[in-house]
Structures are given as structure tokens and as C-alpha cells.
Amino acid sequence: MNARRLKLSIFGGAVVVLAGSVALAPSAGAASGVNGFTRQISAAAVTSPGSAASSAASVDGAQSHELGPTASGDGATGASSPSVNRSHSTKHSGTLSAGPSVAASAVSSAAANLVTSFDGLYHRQQRLANGGNQFSVEPPDQGLCAGNGVVAEFVNDVMRVYNPDGTPANGMGVVDLNTFFGYPDQFNRTTGVVGPFVTDPSCYFDSATNRWFADVLTLDTFSNGDFTGTNHLDLAVSQSGDPTGSWTVFRLPVQDDGSQGTPDHGCTGVNPPLYGNLSVPPTNPNACLGDYPHIGADANGIYLTTNEYSFFGNDFHGAQIYTFSKSALVANSRRINVTQFDTHGLDNGNSGFTLWPSIGANDINSSAGNGTEFFLSSNAADEAHGNGAGVGPRQSNQLLVWSLTNTDSLHGNNPQATLSHVVLGVGQYAVPSGSVQEVGSTPLVDCLNFTPCARTLNGQPDKFKESEYKLDSNDTRMQQVMLSNGLLWGALDTSVSTSSGSEAGIEWFIVNPSASGGPSLANSGYLAGQNSNVIYPAVGVTSAGSGVIAFTLVGPNNFPSAAFASINASGVGGIQMARAGAGPADGFSGTFYYNAPNPPRPRWGDYGAAVVVGNNVWIASEYIGQTCTLAQYESAPFGSCGGTRSALANWDTRISEVTPA
């Protein structure tokens, strides 16, 4: 058996099979907590990424079934195949606000605070992992965690552990996430069988317990790739402080249609149903979807949040919070409690959208209220108004601060945590338009426009006229949140107006969650580039109160680049470049050919990451680390540009360590 493959594990004398989807029934007498619903789930698998080099394919060019079942289009647009990472605001047509007028920051190519920087995972590695039994995937949603002298990176849909200098820890290769979480291949290119669809990874290292945590959303499929409707959050917990060792995996059903112990949230399909032209009808046609999961932690618990949509419909139900006892997870318990909180209708009749859970810098957490976990969210997006099916205001001056108190009760059999929130006034933010890239060589686009090359790539010409595209700039949803120095730090994407015109910028927030009289805004402001866009921010702040905002910088004079700026209680500093991009993004999600009949949605890393280790901050952002011409693309091996990319995408990630100013 390949050293990366999973083992059998014994739980209470029973052999647990580690591959395939596991249906989990609730325990008898599941209880309702205060403003929450409690059930039990069982440990489902034990996995290990192993220390052996991964099995990588050497196939280049495009093969049949390059794109996975949700890779084309967006389920919220009315596509026949439901999708993840949904955004109703980017779906609907209409004029977007120019955003607030702000001063732009100069960009410095010299990063004075940069300790080290190296390339992380990139698309060619993702596509060729696990012997090539993978789809081409965009974007590489960024999970990053660090501790015990190593850095772990999880993206769609591979992971790897690095030493601080960028070399693989313990000689570890690139491991696909289907294998890591105990599933069959993403796509078996010998049998044609499609495995479960794993997406949206996040990870966290908890120094207090010396354990690593990683989570994903998994959509169950029939063998042909059609969705069954059931979907679940997979939470992997390391059994030691070594992330290359063994992990226990828990699977939490989140379809919320009353099956497998879930509550029934009334999600329905549409008429005609989105699954109307699927070859196999879903087993759960009224399933909800636990989209866009993220991980947070305090001293008592691990917290996963999702955006809940109708799986086969357009409606948005509301953000969900799932709470786990940290001690039960670390103890490798056979069964654990999970308490679920539903934000449907809690915001003055509207629902919470993208509640991002906080993580304490260096594991310093809030003990207020017998333990409190904090979340931040925004409400300009269409989803935060009604059921999200209509067009929302797409601009707001409100920040929502959510508090889950009495988290110490998570250790007991009947958790009694309570969820509440307040609304704070902040500066205006608005949904940004796409981010223009510097003009450069786009060999995939050029190949599709050149009939002989298109025939080599796809066996047929492209009937569309392709061109270099703008990147998706996000939709004002909250990004990473950190609790540090007694304050909450967060940021989101917004449209801004500078002397260069309308651009995508960042609004950042510093909140005092424990102020007398309730949470209050300590400071906020904007970050914008000079004639450039700054997108997908991630804030990391040390326990001393100094930190960085990591993001992608892109514009008419900048290829997609990994950049950052300092931040403290007084505000932000200038923009520094961790690594300048080498060329434009040139992937399938920005083309008409691979998205028809839907318009392109040029995907970019749906979130970045920042992690505090001591007095430094590790950051990761998507960027473009290579470039090549059409002639190089067409040269053997076809589509690889000398082994620097795949035929259908060229994304890269950049991991950097920064000492905050």
C-alpha cells in the first residue's frame, strides 16, 4: 500500500473503514442547547499524509474530464450543476457603487519586514497529484497553519508540510485532499469513477494542546459525478504535534434536510430543478449546502462556520456555526458532541452571512462570559437581505460583531452556549468590480483563439473570442478574523475611489469586543493601491498588537502579486511586495469555452491566510509565479511551458514570514 494511503484503525474493538462516505446517525436523546441544536457524531477515519514522496503523473496537455462537477459556472446563476463558493452579488447584473473616496498607498518593491518567502503549492502540482487522478481546479482557496517549526499549507485540492526555508518537511510530497481525508480518488482516470468533491480547506495549529486541525466541505457524488445532495464538513485532528503523522477525521452532515441527524431547514430546489439534466436524480433533492466553511478556536472549542444555501436551488438560508469541545477532539474520543447555531432571521429579520470565527494570537483567548468566541460579519452582499434571491443594496456601513458565550459548557454533555450580536457603524463598503491585470502573455487564451492549437487542446475549435480577463474581486464578505491584544481584527474587500479611478480595495476593522456597554469600534480605515487593486485580505496580529494584512495586488501595471502592509492599533502602513507576479492569470475559469453556457467567473483565491507564530506572522496569498508564450505552450510537452504550469491554469501560492514593524 502506498505510504500516503490510509490505514485501518480500531475504535472500541470495531474496524473502521477509512474510504468512502460515512452516514452518521445521531445518538439517542440528542439535546437542544441554549439557542443551539446538539447532536453526536462518531470518528470516521484515521489518515496520515505520510513521509513518502507523492505519486505524481507525467501527463501533459488536456485529458477528458478535466473539470470537476462544480467547476463550470456558479450554482447561484441557474447553472444545471450546483456549485460551491457561491456569490449572489457577483451573479446579479446592475451598476456597482464606486465606493468611498480614499487615499492610495504607494507600492514598495523592497519588503523591509520580509524574513523569508518561497513558492507554495501551484496548479501543476494539484492537477498531477495522486498519479494524475485529479481534476483541474480553480481557485486555490488558502489554508495555512504553522507551529512546531513547520508550516502546513492546504489548498484546493492538495496539501503539503514545509520547513521554514520552504523545503518539504520529512521529505513529504504533495498529497491530494481526497486521499488525506479518506476518500477515493477525485477522478479515477482508469475506471472513470468520480469521488466525493472536496473543497474549501482551512487549517489551524493549537499550541496549547499541541494539535493540528484541518477542515473541508465534502459533497457526496454518484460514481458518474452527479451530486447526491448529502454534504458534510470533515474535521481532521492530528494525534500528535507532528502534522505528517496520523490524524483522526470526523464527518458532520450539514445538508440540514432532516436526514442523518440534521435539522430540517426547509431548503428546496427550483422549478425547473437545477438537477433536471443530471443523469442520476439526487437522493436528497431538498438538501441544503454548507458552503464556504472556516475554522476558529478559543480555549474551549473549535468552531466551524458555513453559508447555507439550497443545494439545488438559489435561496440562501443563513450562516451556521458548529461548535466542538476542543478537549474531546484532542482526546481522540470515539463520539463527540456538536452544537449547531442557525443565524436565520437573527439580523433584524435578515440572516447572518459569512460569520468568520476568530483565532487568538498565540492562543490567547477571551475568558469573559465563562469563555467567549467572537465572529465578525458584514451585510452588503445580496445574501444578507431576505433569502438572497433578489438584489441587495451591495453597500453598507454596518459591521456585525457576534459573541458565543459560555463556551466552557462545551466540555459537558449538555452545552449551554449562547449566541448574540451587536451592529456597529463603520465606513461605507461596497461590492467591487473585477480587478484588471497587467497585459501579458496568456497562452491558454491564445491557444483557444488559434484553431489548430484549440483542436490539439480540446479536439475542436473555440467558437468564442477569448481575451485576458479581470480577476474576481470578492463581494464584501468578511475575511479572516483574529483576536489579539484584547481586540478583534478583520478586513473585507470593497470598491474604492482613488485618484486613479474606481478600484478594488480593503476596509479594515479593529473592534474592542469587551468594552463597557458592549463591543465598540476602536479603529477602522481603508487600504488602496496606487492604480492597482488589493484583494482577498488576511489579517495576522501578534499578541503585542503589531501585525500585517496579506493580499493579492494586481492592476494595469502589476501582474497578480503577493503583497502585504503593516497594521497596528493606529492604522496601516505602506504596501510591500512579498513577490511580484511574473505574468497574468491564464486559467479556464476566465474563459467562455470552459464555462458555457454560463458567463466566465474568473476565480481567484477565495481567501488568503495569515498565522501568528511568536513575534512573526506567516502569510499566504495567490499570485502568478510563471509566464510563457504560445510557442512555448505548444512545445512538447504540450501545455506545460517547460513544466511550469498545466494546460488549463497557472495559479501559484506564495508563503512568506514577516516581522511586523
Residue where the block lists cell 481603508: 526
Identify whether 272 is preceded by a cis peptide bond (ω within 30 of 0).
yes
> Taking a C-beta distance cutoff of 8 angstroms, is the pair 92, 391 a contact?
yes
Mean pLDDT of 537-555: 96
Supply 75's cell numbers: 450554482
CB atoms within 10 A of CB 502: 17
For the ranges 96-105, 427-436, 512-521, 605-614, which has the lowest average pLDDT?
96-105
Give the CA distances from residue 471 to residues 31, 77, 349, 656, in Å, rounded to whole numbers and listed in that order.
46, 18, 33, 23
Give a yes or no: residue 140 inside a domain: yes
Report how far residue 580's alpha carbon sits from residue 394's, in angstroms, rounded to the nearest whole number: 31
> Taking a C-beta distance cutoff of 8 angstroms, is the pair 310, 317 a contact?
yes
Task: Record the pTM.
Answer: 0.92
Residue 596 has pLDDT above 50, yes or no: yes
Q: Is 167 helix (H, G, I), strand (E, B) or coil?
A: coil
69-73, 222-226, 371-375, 498-502: which is most confident: 371-375
Supply 428's cell numbers: 461605507
> Where residue 318 falls among pLDDT bands split at 50, 70, 90?
very high
pLDDT of residue 62: 81
Percentage of the chain with pLDDT > 70?
A: 89
pLDDT of residue 61: 79
Give a yes or no: residue 129 inside a domain: yes
Report how far residue 588's alpha carbon sits from residue 595's, in angstroms, rounded to the nearest whole number: 8
CA atoms within 13 A of residue 594's CA, in its CB half-sphere: 32
Report how far residue 661's alpha carbon sits from residue 653's, in angstroms, rounded to the nearest whole number: 24
> Taking a C-beta distance cutoff of 8 angstroms, is the pair 131, 182 a contact?
no
Supply 100's cell numbers: 468611498
> Where residue 314 falls among pLDDT bands split at 50, 70, 90?
confident
> Taking a C-beta distance cutoff of 8 angstroms, is the pair 81, 75 a contact?
yes
Give a yes or no: residue 220 inside a domain: yes
Give a yes or no: residue 62 inside a domain: no
Q: Is 82 helix (H, G, I), strand (E, B) or coil?
A: coil
For the ranges 50-54, 128-132, 542-546, 616-620, which has the lowest average pLDDT?
50-54
Beta strands in 528-608 (DSSP E): 533-541, 546-555, 558-568, 571-579
Percentages of the chain per state (helix, strand, coil), in multiples of 5? 10, 40, 50
How far is residue 427 CA from its own chain's centroid?
26
Mean pLDDT of 646-659: 97
Report how far residue 42's alpha carbon sits from residue 249's, in angstroms, rounded to the nearest whole number: 9
Nearest to 232 by CA among 430, 42, 447: 42
pLDDT of residue 506: 98
Mean pLDDT score across all residues of the chain:
89
Report how far residue 120's alpha carbon sits from residue 656's, in angstroms, rounded to the nearest whole number: 9
The one-letter code for the residue type at 568 is: N
Give a yes or no: residue 473 inside a domain: yes
pLDDT digits (tens, 9 = 90+) for 265-309: 999 876 555 555 567 789 999 999 999 999 999 999 999 999 999
Give a yes or no: residue 5 inside a domain: no
Give the CA distances from residue 422 to residues 53, 377, 426, in Å, rounded to whole numbers and listed in that order.
49, 11, 13
Residue 455 has pLDDT above 90, yes or no: yes
pLDDT of residue 64: 82
Percentage of the chain with pLDDT > 90?
A: 75
Residue 393 has pLDDT above 60, yes or no: yes
Report how far residue 479's alpha carbon sits from residue 107's, in angstroms, rounded to the nearest whole number: 22
Element housing 481 (H / E) = strand 481-484
Nearest to 479 by CA among 203, 252, 142: 142
Nearest to 102 by CA among 534, 435, 475, 394: 534
Supply 80's cell numbers: 444545471
DSSP code, position 602: -
Give a yes or no: residue 475 inside a domain: yes
Report how far residue 279's alpha carbon sits from residue 66's, in angstroms, rounded to the nearest whole number: 19
Mean pLDDT of 193-219: 97
19-28, 382-391, 520-529: which is most confident: 520-529
pLDDT of residue 378: 98
For 438, the domain range is 31-57+82-658
Element housing 205 (H / E) = strand 197-206
Residue where the block lists cell 499541541: 210
Count of domains for the chain: 1
Mean pLDDT of 612-623: 97
> Where residue 51 falls among pLDDT bands split at 50, 70, 90?
very low
Give a yes or no: residue 1 inside a domain: no
> Between these two residues, 74 and 206, which has the higher pLDDT value?
206
pLDDT digits (tens, 9 = 90+) for 151-186: 999 999 999 999 999 999 988 999 999 999 999 999
pLDDT digits (tens, 9 = 90+) for 417-443: 999 999 999 999 999 999 999 999 999
pLDDT digits (tens, 9 = 90+) for 490-517: 999 999 999 989 999 999 999 999 988 8
Nearest to 264 by CA among 302, 308, 305, 220: 308
Nearest to 25 by CA among 252, 352, 181: 252
